Structure formats: structure tokens, C-alpha cells
Chains A and B, each alone.
Chain A
Amino acid sequence: MAPSVTKRRKLSHTDNGDEDDAPFSERFGGSPNDTDLSADDSTEVEDAVESDGSMASEDEEAALAKEEAHEGGRGKESIVNQKIRSQARRDPNTNKRRADIPLDGVYTAEIFKSNMFKLQVDELLEQVRPEYGQKQAPAENAMRSLKAIIERIPSRDPLSVHDAERYLMISSKVATPFPHPRPPRDAKYKLQYDRPSSINVAGSYPLKMATSAGEKLAIDLVITMPSAMFQDKDYLNYRYFYKRAYYLACIAAGIKESKEHKFKLTFDCLNGNHLQPIIVVSPSGDGSPDDFSGSKCRIHIILAAAEQTFPCGKLLPEKNCVRPTCSDDENSAKTLDPTPIYNATLKVDLSVTAYLKLLHATSSRCDAYKDACMLGRIWLKQRGFCSHIRKGGFGNFEWAAIMAMLLQSKPGAGVPLLSSGFSSYQLFKATLQFLANRDLSRVPFVFEANDTNLTRTEGTPIFFDGPRGLNILFKMTPWSYKLLQQEASIAVKMLADSTFDQFEPTFILRADPLSYRYDSVLEIPILSLIQDINEENFNKKFSETCRKLYNVLLRALGNRVTLISIILPEEETWPLGSSKPFVNREGRLLLGFATDSVNSERTVDHGPAAENKNEAASFRKFWGEKAELRRFKDGSILESVVWSQKEGSGPILKQIIQFILRRHISADVADKAIIAGNQFATLIPSGDIVGQSGTAPFLSIMNAFSALEKDIRNLENLPLQIRHILGADPQLRYSSIDPPRTVTHRQMSIPASIIIQFEGSGRWPDDLAAIQRTKIAFLLKLAELLSEHNPELTTRVGLENPSYPSQNQSFLDITTSSGHSFRLRIHHEREATLLERRLKDKTFDGTSREAAALALAVYKSSFLRIPAHTQAIQTLCTRFPAVSPSIRLVKKWFTSHLLTPHFAPELIELLVARTFLQPYPWNVPACATTGFLRTLFWISRWDWRYTPLIVDFSSAEERAGMKADEPTAITTRFEAWRRIDPALNRVVLFAASNLDPEGATWTDRARPAKVVAGRMTALARAAVAALKDNESMIAAGKASLLALEPEMLFVSSLTDYDFVLHLAPRYTRAGKAKKEARADNSMFKNLQLQAEADKGGELVGYDPVTLFTDELQEIYGHAVIWFYDTEGGDTVAGLWNPAMTARRSWRVRGGYSSVPLAGTGTRRGKGEEVTGEVDGVEVEINKEGILNEIARLGGELVERVEILKK
């Protein structure tokens, strides 16, 4: 069957096919909420809105009238259905016409990102859509009773402001929530209450665009105040808002006095706008008939006014509506500053109906609109945005309104930006593109209002909706707009990723936790910014201060940061009886900085040239005594600022912030401010990014390596030409925890592996063992030639793998006079062929074929994969400065939890590389801490049983990454592994990259085993949970920024293990390093040099602890799961493998040291003595005996054996 276009159409809705078939009446008007609440049914859709025009909300998306949904909705349904039908009729023709177009897009690939993406989106929408019907019935009942109560509230006669407020307080104990400044005592106007002209449910709930994920649903009950209450000039000087506040207080009092219910009432501000108080109705929670806690929602009672109450022109953004108290002269209005926020707030109250109309019309015109709105909601929520002024001022309503307007064509401007034929995903993506690509703060978007001249404030975005005369983005601040732009552009980038579907980062992950999103966070107590927090115009002053803070920091930090964001403490609702609480005295301002890793640690800031008088003066004024005139190498003379790089002066970012706060804000603020940034970097040596790269500590070894390479290439008389010399060691890819050589540690203790490959030659023997001998002969020759060529090099040939004759047998250690050591091995391609041949040869027994398979795997990883991996990581480290310290920090985490013996270093590096190559939903990490924390976060969510890790190194390069079929191939391979090994006995983690599509290179042979991988996940989860707790404490103002000690994430208790071996520190690497450091301070320089010369590199690579632990693995690896720190720690912990240690019947070859026990068989007969019958004897692992053996094996290496569990 050729898929018809009908099919295509269906899929292009986000609704499932079957849902599409459902009658619209059911989806639209059938829910019980629209039956009772609306008294009068209107007949025509348009009329419903216009005549009734009563209910609306400015809060969430705009509103859909009940009435409309009820009858009008049904009328609508038939139209829509007809449309669909007629389209279906036309379909066959279209089908024919399109027959020769390739049908690749039939199944959603074009209109959605991919099938998977679409299916997941469907699933997601399904889940977040609140259940209408049974579950919401209590809430709807509650709304009905609220409506009845409100309708019965008696009118109150006009009273003077003072009397009205006092009377309400005395009679009902309700404090009128007047906005600041409070109304003057001598106000001439009166406050009154009359029956509302309409009461309606509005907002996203009746529109069915609400989402119910996590937070409680808010249902808006909009009450329209009668127009008769207001006078012409009420839009001036807060008069409207005073009347509104009184009206709200009257409603609150009315509900409170009614005895029919048990609702809990509190005041709040709509979207944090103090001009718009609202009533929040919460369920009583006691199971009474009114209790609607089962519906998991709150009801917001919101006030609105009729649209024509005030003339539209007076409320445009550039007008002033708050006249100074000293003069009442109307004529001076033109010179007064505009009051855009005041005007817009008032406008919002008036245009509730207008937006309701707009959104409803759009949703009926464009099928996918609702779903796109829901996607937008989810996306915004996961980024911490909402309509609340303190949370960005960009929420669901703003999203829906912008999309609705972009769907309309601008007269004369050609095609609209969005088309109603788009799928929900296309709408969503195009809206994001609009947000990402336009700078609305520079070029305002004006919709159908060409003659309006808009005054602009620096950094504030404008999206002016002409017909309704409102700047939709009026609540946004410069920083929240920047953040929104950045988030949108990240989202556009990740949706453009053709390799991975990126569904999770787009909709599932939360992007707003401080520790993942920002590299540094600054904390300032509000009290230090503004002393008098009880002041009347606090709000104004506060927002001015924030703006100033933002501006000076922005100028001072320049391109060192990519984002500065101000996070304000949350406000709470307050009880009816009291006035709005003042700002919390303990409140703190948080400023998040996302830094640019290349620029953030720059020491010199260049200013304008000295000749440029004006700019230079401004620069000097800004920087004060810090500014100096400097002459630079290129001859230019520039104003500049220089920062100290000395130890103890702290990160440059911190220095700048401190200086700027002191100079431009106040000394008090500078003293009380706390700056937290990259705290975890202190846990590893040289963890901070110095200058412009994170690879500085490895500079010397890289130089030494290239010098050695040159030496080897310059050798004459080598029997064969060299093809290449490659690094194959963490130390040569900037990712060993400790830099190879430090000031106190001049001799590298572990030689860095390198691989040499000669050109092909037919003179190699065609025999595995003989090849190994020939390699040794080569190494001997190489050693001889090298020593001749450069007498400063010490060389010696070493042997390895005595138990595995088919693996590599030899290496050459080369130590330079500077203290660098390299371990060189020869790569010979023929080995692989011979091993493969042996693997396939049926004449060999199982053991030797098994050995061949192992040798082949070892060959592939050590000669092919590791060098390739090393190069890839090298490139990545130079490309992103934070990669190297992040890898080292993550390794430190693994090793601190004693996990390193189970995880190949390459695997850990891949985990970190993923954080940088697929950083979504964030930008690429700019410091070690964010790199580390985000990696942990990913690990904590890694469902390794069902998901492979796929890293695409090529995505960092210019030409875009993997082809689409590569991940598919990798996934197929992964699934194959899971099919052959469903119990995860062999491959537990699966980590592939474009360089290594096999995926099991680093994790084959249960490295790590399932239980260890589980421990990794558990530890990562614990760390992530600790971070989250800490973050919520910070958000609640209960904890300081520095409350979480970085070390906390690196300590795990030893009590989970069965026993622990404590090694003598004098043999461990860490212990030795400490001793050396101590010796370094006490010894004379010459003696010290002598001591080092004596060693002569003899002990390079000698590490008894590693030898000991390797032997433990080899001897007891099957009976004990070992945990230790491969980086020289002094703890070796063990867990008895439960599979091996269980009691079982006796066998000659037990596989481990056993203790014989009288079996259950003998205990059966009472009188019988213990005899030596086989069936009567069982064995158990001899734990004491084995521990004793281990202690004997370790000798003085083991200081103490601690038995934790018996």
C-alpha cells in the first residue's frame, strides 16, 4: 500500500490518528466544566467573545470562554470537520501529483526531526496534558461554588479611601492590598464594589493547553469589574489600581464571610507584578465536599476590566501616566518620563478579552498551535522561565501570543514567519529560531502598528502588538532577555543536530540548576544593596540597582563572560489579614556568570587608544585608578587594565568583580559579596585554567615527546624506515590526574607509553613468537643507536606479559635527562592477521583460541584504539580549554571512590568528551567544575542497560559529524550484544565513538562488572542529589553558596566493603610524593640533586602497590571484587563475590582456597559421627585463610587488614 497523503496529514498533527477521529465536540466542549458555569450560552463563535467579552486572563495563555466552548465550540466542530473531509477528498489528486517525489518524508522525518522524536513528543504531550474529567471534577465544583458565592456578594457604597480600607479591616479583617505608593490620604475619589459584569474560567485550562508536570496546575477565574466603577482619568496615578485592589479585597472579604466553604485564601501578585494583586484559593485538604486537593490545582481569582474603559492611546509605552505629585499641570506631560511598565500592566487588565480572542482564533485556525504551545511551555519551564517578573517575564502567555502573531501575515510584509500548515514541531522550532535570531532589544518587532514610535530602554526587548497596543515583553529585563536568546539559540543548535535526536535535552532535562548552568555565582545580600528595605518605592529602587549592577558588570567583564544573569529570591503569598510583606531581610541576590573559557582568565584588558580623548576619558572614569596607559608590542599606546596572576590573588574574574563592586556599587557590597566559581578545581593539581589553555601542566612532557620523536627519526642505520610514532598514554593526552612532572617531582614515576610503527617489510618472520623476538632485537638495536645519537638518553629494554606469549613481550624505556620517561612498544600489523588465523583454526584447542582472542583484543586496543583515542582527546583538549581539567577531575572522582581498576581511563575520557561534544541543553562547559558536574549528572541518568554511549569526535570539526547511519549501526551492535549477553556478564557498559564503532573495546570482559557499574550510578546519583539539595537550600536562602564542600562528593564510606587492606604509605605513590615534597624543603639543593642522580632512573616505573594489586586481581579476581585507588592511594577494599563464596559440595579443583564443613547430609543422622564421605562434606571459601595469604603476599606492604563484615 502506498502511504496516502491522508496518512501524512494525520501524522502532521501531533494528535494520534485515533484522536483525530474523535468528534471535536468531545475534545472541545464535552468536558463537564463548561456546562454549569456559564449562565448564558452564546450562539456564534465570534459573538461569544465579543458580546460576552467578559472573561479573560492576562495570566497564562489567554483564555477561552466557557460559553464559547460550549455551544459555539460545537458549531465550530462541524466547520473543522468539514474542512478535514474536503481535504481528504482532494487528497487522491495530490497523491497522484506527488507520486514521483521521493517519499522519504512520509513517516514524519521531514515535519518532525525523526520518528523517534515525534513518537516521544506524542508521548510527552500525552503525559503532561492534565486529565480532564473525573480528576478535575472537584476543582470544577469548587469553581462553581466560588462563582455562586461571588455573585451573591452585596455591593458596597462608595467610600473614601481611608474609610473603605478601615471599614473592610474592621468588619472582615481583610487588608486591602494597595500597591505602593499607597493612595494619598486626601484622595478625592471613592472606592466601591458592585456586582461583577462577568465571571469566567480562563487561561490555558479551558483552552486545553495546560500542562501538568510537577507543579500544581493554576486555574484562572477571571472577574470583570463593571465599567461604571471607573472615571475617565482613573488610568492616571495608580487610581485604577487602588480601585482594583479595593475591589479584590471586597471579593476576598465576601468569600471569607461566606459560610458555605472551607477554602484557604491568600493574596499574591499576578506574575510578581505588585500592581496586580490576586486571590489564590487553595483546597482545604480536609476531605469536605469543597475540598479539591484531589485535582492538584489552585484557583487564581484575577481581576480584569472592559477593554474600552480607558482610551488606548493614553497607555502606549511612550506615555507617562504617573504624574509627579508636585504639579498637576497636564501640559508638562510630554516632557515627563514614560512609564512603560505601569502602562502595560494596566493595558494587560484591559486587553484580556482581546487576547482571548486572538489565541482562540489562532488555535482554531492552526491545528498544531495548541501542541506547539504546550511544547513551548515545557521548554520554557525546563529552563526556569515563566511570566513572573522575577523569573524572566517570559512565560506561557508570551510564548502563545508571539506565536499567534507570527502566524498572522503582516499586511504588506509578505508571508508570515509561521504557517498554519506547520506541524507542532515546526511551529516550535520556527518560534525558537525567531527568538534566537532576532535581537528585539535592538530592532523592535512591531506588529501592525507602523506609526507608533517606540521609546527604547537599553537592553529591554520590544515585541509590540499594535492592535492591542501592548509590548508583550514588557516584563523582561535585559539579562532575562539575553538568557532567553541564548537558550533559544542553544535549542536551535540542538534541534539541528542530525546525528542524535536530542529529545531529552530539549524537553526533559532541567537546564536551570545553578551549578550546571553557570560557571561562577556571585551572592549579594539585598540588605547591603539597599539599606532601607521598608521604603515606599523599594521596588523601583531595587530594579534600578539591579540594572546598574548588571550594566557595570557587563562592561567590566566584556567578553570574559557569555552571560550574566540575576536571580532574585522568590516572593510568597500573604494572608488576607495583613498587608503585603516587605522584602525578606535575609534575602540575597544571586548573579550567575557563564564564562568564556578562552577569555575569562586574560590578564590584560585593552581599552581605547590614548588619542581617542572621549573614549579614553570614559574608560578612565569607569576603571578609576586601575586604568593605566600602556605601550604594546605593536607600537600602539592604549588605555588598559592589568590583573594579577599571582598565587593568592584568586581567579581574575573574582578580582574584577570585587573591584567593580567596590568602585561602582559600594564597599559594603564588595565586602559582603561571596563569589563561588570552579570550586572543584582545587581538588586536582593545577586544576584552574591558566591563561588561555587548560593544558599548561603538560607542556613540558609534550615538548619532551616531540624532541624524542625527532631524535628517533634522525637515527641513521635503522634497518627499517619509521612509519609513525604515536603517543598512547593519558599523560600524552593531557588527562592524567597528576601532571607528569612537577617542581617537587622531577622524575616521572610512570613512563608514558608510545607506539612506533615501521614500514612494512617481508623480512619479518611469519610466526607470533618469532615476531616477539624480532621486536626485542629491534628494541635492542634502537636502544644502542639512541644512546649513541644522544648520550643524554638512558635506555633499557624490559619484558612483560610472561604468562601470555602471544601478547606483546617487550618494551623500551627511554628516560631523558630532564626526567621524562617514555615506554616504547613496536606495532607490527602482521600480528593481527596471525592471531585471527589462529582464532579461526579449528585444530587449536579452546584454551589457546581463547588466548588468541584475548591477545587480539589487547593488540587492537593497545596498538590501534589507544593511539587513535589519544589523538582525538589531544585535539579536543586544545579545542576546548576546560576538557583537560574536567577529565582529570572526573578521574579523580572515580579514583576517590576506588572505582578506577574497573574503568579504563579511555572510558572515563569518553564520558567527559561526551559532555563537551553534546553539551546540550547547555553550552560547552567553560571550567573544570561545570564539566565535572555535568558529566556526573549525565552518569546519574545513564540507563546503561538500554542505552549505549556514543561519542562523536568529528562533530567538533568543521565538517559536521557522523553520518546518520553511523549511530544506527552502533545501536544495532549494542542491541546485538544485549541479545547475546542479556545477563550482562561480559559487556555491561557500551561506549562507542566514531573512531571505535565496536563499542566494547574499553568495557569487554566485564570491565566494569554489573555490580560495579551499579555502584558508579548510585554514587553519581548521590552526588547529584546532594547538589540538588544544596541548590534548593541556596534558592530558599537557607544556605550559603559555599555550603557544599567540594570534597564531600569525593568521599564514600568504606563500610560497604567486606574488608579493607591498609597499605603502608611509604610504598604508595601518594605517600612517596609527600615524603619527597617534605624532603625537598629540608634538604640542600646539591644533596638533593645527588640523591636523584643516584637513582639514575633505575626505579622509573617501579610501583610495588600496582604490582601487588595486579597480583591480587590475577590470583583472587574471581573470588573477590577489588576496589582500590590506582593513583597511589593506600586503601584496597574487597567484596567477596557472592557467586563464588556460597557453600557448595566439595571438589578437588575448587578454584579457591576452601574450608571443609560438615555438610547438611551428615547432620541428618543424629548418632552418626562425621565421616569422610564425599556427600557429607561441603566447602566454603576460606576467608580467614585467604586474608592471611594476602597479608603474607603483601608482606610489609600491608600495614593492617581490617575486617568489616563477617
Chain B
Amino acid sequence: MPSLNPTRNVAPTPQKVADYIILPLTLPSLPSLQTIAKHYLYIRPHAPKLPDPDSERSLFIANVPIDATEEGFRKLFAEQFDGGRVERVEFEASVPQYPTTRKRKEGSGGQNGVRGKKRKRDDAEVVAEGVIEDEETRLPRVWGREVRESGSSAVVVFVDRASARGVMKEIEKAVKKGREIKWKLDDENGLGVKRYRTHHSLTFPPKPILQASINAYLTAFNRAEIARNRVRARQRAVPDEDGFITVTRGGRNGPVRIEDAEAAKEKLEERKKKKGVMEDFYRFQVREKRKEREGELRRKFEEDRRKVSEMRERRGRIVPMS
């Protein structure tokens, strides 16, 4: 087997790194690529900084293959690790990366909003922009099956704690014994041409469905807009603890057109210009102006001289091509 990483033969692959078990997966041999290759998962019991009830029965897996799916992991653990039952898999990153639509939690800042779209200063219930999308209001999906980013991670949530622990032990055993674990091709939910063909069809959702989604969104948006306006009105009216009144958008009909403001500013400047004193009225003005111009010319000349000498340093001499 030709190896792309010749250095790997120098020493055996390590089995552990930090508190992660390194689990080698044997990749399937393919018609287009006959070599036998391995993929390495880094696995440990899930231990997030802010534990939640699910973390006890979860495993954290780093470096998942790009074609990993929930189904794929379910099968992997069920078939090769003695019946570990997977409830769900949460992937860290995928392609395409859909904006998350989870609801923002009270007091937790703007972090888990629609990808940072919400502003921290806003009232809890009201989203600063857009609407929080749900099944109904979001745009139809255009990809049938997602793929993962290279080197990204996933959290596998098992049905119970025992299951998670059992699987972890099983993995440790397998690694120690050097049992071959296989990463299987998922034929039903195929990749390749079939997936792209599906994507092409999904790109053009039927008009009624699309229309329905748009309608739902716009209705929700109007509702949100009303709520926002109310919040703003309140902020305008009520001073906060320090006695300040928050300046907010609105207060009159429609947003201010920046273009208009700029046009007005320009006009004002023009008017100022016209009114101004003549610039070449006094002798000293003329003299100064000339001096300035001379200085400018000299500066430019020096600049050009510098450029040419730089050019010479860089390219050597200026010589006609032969």
C-alpha cells in the first residue's frame, strides 16, 4: 500500500492524546482510489464548560469524516460497538452552514441568537433584526444531505448514561487490541452525482411552497416589527437608572435616508463655498498659493525620483530589451 505519510511508519500510531482516545477507522476502498487509508477520530466523554443534563450521556468526537451523518454514527456504534444506542448527533459545522434558529435565552447575551444578529442591549423578547425562523418561516432547504467541514467535531448523545459509558469502554478496548473498525459507505443517502442532482431539483422549490414560506415570514416579520417599534417607543420615553434616555431608531415615519442627508450636506458646503472670501484677492494669498504649488511640485519630483531609484534597485538597470 503506498503511503502518503511515510513518516508514520517510523513509530506506531499513538493511542491516546490528552484525554482523548484515538480511534483509527479503516476507510472503504473505492473504485477510483484503491489505496487503503485510515481516518482518526478523537473521542472522549462529553464534558462541556457549562454541563447540561444531556452531557452525561454524550461522547465528544473530534475530527469527524466529512460524510458523517447521524445515521452513520448510529450504525457505527450499533454494529461495531455492541449496541450503543444513539439518540441524536449534534454536528459542530457543516456545509452548507445554515444559520441556527434556536431561540435566544433570557439574559445570555447575543451569543446564541441568529448568528449574532441580535443586539445585546435589546429587550429579551424582541429580536433586533428579522425574525427568529422556524420550520414554517425559513426558506426551503436546497441541499438534501449536508457534509461536515474537514476536521470539525460532533457530540453524540446516547439514549442513556450506561450506553455512553459502555461504548466508551468498548472503544478503549478496541483501540488497545487493535481491532479493525470500518467506516462504511452510506449507500442509500448517496453522495456524488445523485446528491448534486437532488440539490439541483431542490434549488427550485415549487412556487406554492416558496410563496407560503415567504408569506409566513413576512407576517412574522410584521409582527416583530410592531414589537420592536413598541420597545423603541418605550426606550425613547423612559429614562434608565442613570437617568439617560436611549436614542433609538424611529420616532418618525420611515427610516432616515442617508442619501438625503448627504445631499443636504453637499448643498450646504456648496453654499458656503460661494459665500467665501475670494482666495486670490490679496498679494500674500497669491504668493502663498504659489509657494504651496512649488512645494507640491518639488515633493512630487522627489517622490518620482524615489520611485525610479526603487525601481532600479528592484529590477536592476533600465536597459532596452534585446
Interface of A toward B, CB cutoff 8 Å: 2-3, 102-104, 106-109, 114-116, 119-120, 123-124, 127-128, 213-215, 378, 381-382, 507-510, 762, 765-770, 773-774, 776-777, 780, 783, 796-800, 802-803, 805, 809, 813, 833, 843-845, 847-848, 851, 943, 946, 1067, 1099, 1101-1102, 1104, 1107-1108, 1111, 1114-1116, 1119, 1143, 1146, 1148-1158, 1162-1163, 1170-1174, 1176-1177, 1180, 1182-1189, 1191-1201, 1203, 1206
A1200-B32 CB under 8 A given contacts A128-B320, A845-B116, A848-B115: yes
Chain A residue contacts of B203, Cβ below 8 A: 798-800
**Is the beta-carbon distance between A767 and B150 smaller than 8 angstroms?**
no
Q: Given known contacts A1115-B150, A1158-B11, is B294 in contact with A106 (CB within 8 Å)?
A: yes
8 Å CB contact of A1191 from B5, B30, B150: B30
| A120 contacts across to B, CB distance below 8 A | 308, 318
Most buried by A among B6, B185, B258, B321: B321
Inter-chain contact B141/A802, CB cutoff 8 Å:
yes
B273 within 8 A of partner (CB): no
Q: How close is A1066's CB to chain B, nearest CB, in angstroms?
A: 10
Interfacial chain A residues near B27, Cβ < 8 Å: 1184-1185, 1188-1189, 1192
Of B34-42, B73-81, B231-239, the one with at least 4 CB within 8 A of chain A:
B34-42
A1196 contact from B97, B193, B293, Cβ within 8 A? B193
Please tell me which one of the listed residues B28, B63, B119, B192 contacts residue A1150 in the complex, with CB atoms under 8 A apart: B63
Per the bound structure, the CA–CA distance linking A1182 and B153 in Å amounts to: 16
Is the pair A1192, B30 in contact by a Cβ cutoff of 8 Å?
yes
**A107 adjacent to B301 (CB under 8 Å):** yes
Whole-angstrom distance between the alpha carbons of A382 and B320 in the complex? 7
Is B275 among interface residues, defined by CB-CB distance under 8 A? no
Taking CB as reference atom, which chain B residue is nearest A770? Answer: B221
**Measured CA separation A1143–B2 after assembly (Å):** 20
Q: A382–B150 contact, CB under 8 A? A: no
0/1 interface trace, chain B 98-131, chain A, CB 8 Å (1 if under): 1100000000001000011101110000000111
CB-contact partner of B151 in A3, A107, A1154, A1183, under 8 A: A1154
Q: B16-24, B83-91, B162-170, B263-271: which lies at the A interface?
A: B16-24
Known pairs A1115-B147, A1158-B13; A1203 contacts B2 (CB<8 A): yes
Q: Are B300 and A107 in contact (CB under 8 A)?
A: yes
Per the bound structure, the CA–CA distance linking A1192 and B32 in Å amounts to 9
Chain B residue contacts of A762, Cβ below 8 A: 254
- CB-defined contacts of B96 to chain A, threshold 8 Å: 802-803
A1157-B7, A1170-B11, A1201-B33 in contact; A783/B207 too (CB < 8 A)? yes
What residue in chain B is nearest A103 (Cβ atoms)?
B294
> A809 and B139: CB pair below 8 A?
yes
A-B pairs with lowest CB-CB distance, top 6? A1195-B192, A1172-B16, A214-B322, A1184-B37, A1158-B11, A1183-B4
Kindly identify which residue among A797, A1157, A1196 contacts B11, using a CB–CB cutoff of 8 Å: A1157
A115 partner residues in chain B, CB cutoff 8 A: 300-301, 304-305
Residues on B with beta carbons closer than 8 Å to the beta carbon of A798 = 203-204
Q: Is the CB of A767 within 8 A of B129?
A: yes
| B5 in contact with A1104 (CB, 8 Å) | no
| 1/0 contact string of B293-321 vs chain A (CB within 8 Å) | 11001101100110110111011011111
Q: Is the CB of B196 within 8 A of A1108?
A: yes
Residues of A within 8 A of B191 (CB): 1192-1195
* A769 contact set on B, CB distance < 8 A: 129-131
Counting CB contacts under 8 A, is B8 at the interface?
yes
Distance (Å) between the CB of A478 and the closest chain B CB?
A: 28
Q: Give the number of chain B interface residues (Cβ < 8 Å).
A: 107
Within 8 A of A (CB), among B225-247: 225
How far is the CB of B190 from the nearest CB of chain A, in Å?
Answer: 6
Shortest CB distance A649–B (Å): 39
Q: How far is the CA of A109 from the CA of B293 in the complex (A)?
A: 14
CB pair A1184 B38 closer than 8 Å: yes
Inter-chain contacts of B120 with A (CB < 8 A): 843
Say yes or no: A799-B39 contact (C-beta < 8 A), given A104-B293, A1111-B95, A1200-B32. no
B14 on the A face (CB < 8 A): yes
Q: Give me 11 A-to-B residue pairs in the complex whose CB atoms sit less than 8 angstroms apart, sorted by A's number.
A: A2-B294, A381-B320, A510-B322, A769-B129, A773-B217, A802-B143, A805-B99, A845-B116, A1067-B193, A1157-B14, A1199-B32
B143 to chain A, nearest CB (A): 7
Q: Does B65 contact A (CB under 8 A)?
A: yes
Which residues from 190 to 207 on chain B have a C-beta closer than 8 Å to any C-beta of chain A? 190-197, 199-200, 203-205, 207
Contact across chains for B294 and A797 when beta carbons are under 8 A apart: no
Give the residue name and chain of the B residue nearest to A1159 (CB).
B14
B66 at the interface (CB under 8 A from A): yes
